[in-house]
Amino acid sequence: MTVPSPQLSVVIPVFNEEAGLPALFDRVYPALDKLGTSYEIVFVNDGSRDRSAALLKDQFLRRPDVTRVILFNANYGQHLAIVAGFDHSRGERVVTLDADLQNPPEEISKLLAAMDAGHDYVGGIRRTREDSWWRRIASLAMNRVRERITRIKMTDQGCMLRAYSRDIVRAIAAAQEVSTYIPALAYTFAHNPTEVEVAHAERAAGQSKYSLYRLIRLNFDLVTGFSLVPLQLFSMFGMLVSVGALATYLVVIIQRLVLAGWREGFATLWDRDILAFFLIGMLLFGLGLVGEYVGRIYQQVRARPRYTIQAVLERDGELPRAP
């Protein structure tokens, strides 16, 4: 016997969240029970090295009717954890949520109300943001960059409290991208997206799982994953530099011929050392940028499985829906 698909799936990636999981369980189940729709919660344990997996197993035994747990064998990152959750979810609508209670589960009803109004993708906008000041400033800057170089219109790219229709979830699962940014990817598939304001809280327990390095990596996923502008900018810059160099030559030649007096002042402008440092810096940056795209192509052509699952805990044990 197959269990009928629930109306709602809630996908929650979990990485080393043992400190916060009990509080999450205490809030997310009552919030969803109150909605009055059939639901399932799909937890994806992203290779936690603490007791998260054990806590998830206990919770599965407590609420096997609405709980499913996917256990990765290693840490693949939040976005691949969500992809795996999508692959295994069965609901007509899928909501993603962070495990640290920064996204209040009580806000899910707002997203669903927007879907009732006919939207196929609903993004959250954090009304106030409870993160460190440098994260807020960096986000602001990255939001601007993304706005300019991609066609994605999204107010708050970092908010993971979002609702997706089954069609979009299917498209994301089928996209087979190795390193991706789900909220942005969803925009390329959505035909009637919208955004709603949601609350945001401080992390309930534990620490952020994103180090500065991982944040930078994530932003490369966002930028180079969705835009070729950085590469094109680079050739633009190359052309500018060549034209500038030609102009400089002209100036130098003219100056040497007629205006020997300017020499001292202008000489610094084409000081070879400064110019060389600057140009070498740009060159290295450009090389890295090309490497960023080449690396993506390399990962993609290797066509390895994006993640490997150690075990899936679910009641009926039926095979997951094909993406």
Report the interface residues with ligand UDP, using CB under 6 A.
13-15, 17, 46, 75, 77-78, 81, 98-100, 102, 208-210
What is the Cα–Cα distance from 167 to 115, expressed in whole angstroms?
13
Q: How far is CA 198 from CA 44, 104, 127, 149, in A?
A: 23, 8, 6, 26
The option from ligand UDP, Mg ion, none interacting with 121 (CB < 5 to 8 A, set by class) reads none
Instruction: Indicate whether 100 belongs to the interface with Mg ion (CB under 5 A).
Output: yes
CA 150 to chain centre: 14
- Do 195 and 122 touch, CB atoms closer than 8 A? yes
Nearer residue to ligand UDP within complex by CB, 15 or 119:
15
Antiparallel, parallel or unpaired: β 8-14 and 39-45: parallel
Helices first, then strands: H and E counts in the chain? 11, 8
Question: Minimum CB separation from Mg ion for residue 312, in Å?
Answer: 25
What is the Cα–Cα distance from 89 to 41, expressed in whole angstroms?
9
Residues numbered 25-64 forming contacts with Mg ion, rule: CB under 5 A: none
- Do 222 and 142 touch, CB atoms closer than 8 A? yes
Question: Minimum CB separation from ligand UDP for residue 31, in Å?
Answer: 16
The option from Mg ion, ligand UDP, none interacting with 17 (CB < 5 to 8 A, set by class) reads ligand UDP
Nearer residue to ligand UDP within complex by CB, 134 or 237:
134
Question: Minimum CB separation from Mg ion for residue 136, in Å?
Answer: 13
Question: Minimum CB separation from ligand UDP for residue 15, in Å?
Answer: 3
Instruction: Indicate whether 102 belongs to the interface with Mg ion (CB under 5 A).
Output: yes
Nearer residue to Mg ion within complex by CB, 100 or 120:
100
H-only helix segments in the chain: 21-35, 52-62, 78-88, 108-116, 133-149, 166-174, 182-189, 212-226, 229-257, 263-267, 272-302
The option from ligand UDP, Mg ion, none interacting with 183 (CB < 5 to 8 A, set by class) reads none
The option from ligand UDP, Mg ion, none interacting with 293 (CB < 5 to 8 A, set by class) reads none
Q: Which amino acid is at 272?
A: R
* Selection from 251, 267, 170, 178 nearest residue 221 by Cα: 178
The option from ligand UDP, Mg ion, none interacting with 42 (CB < 5 to 8 A, set by class) reads none
Nearer residue to ligand UDP within complex by CB, 37 or 75:
75
Determine the size of the site formed for Mg ion (CB under 5 A). 3
Question: Minimum CB separation from Mg ion for residue 106, in Å?
Answer: 17
Nearer residue to ligand UDP within complex by CB, 8 or 14:
14
Residue 301 main-chain phi, psi, to 5 deg:
-75, -20
Hey, how many other C-beta atoms are within 10 angstroms of the C-beta on 216?
12
The option from Mg ion, ligand UDP, none interacting with 13 (CB < 5 to 8 A, set by class) reads ligand UDP
Residues at the interface with Mg ion (CB under 5 A) = 98, 100, 102
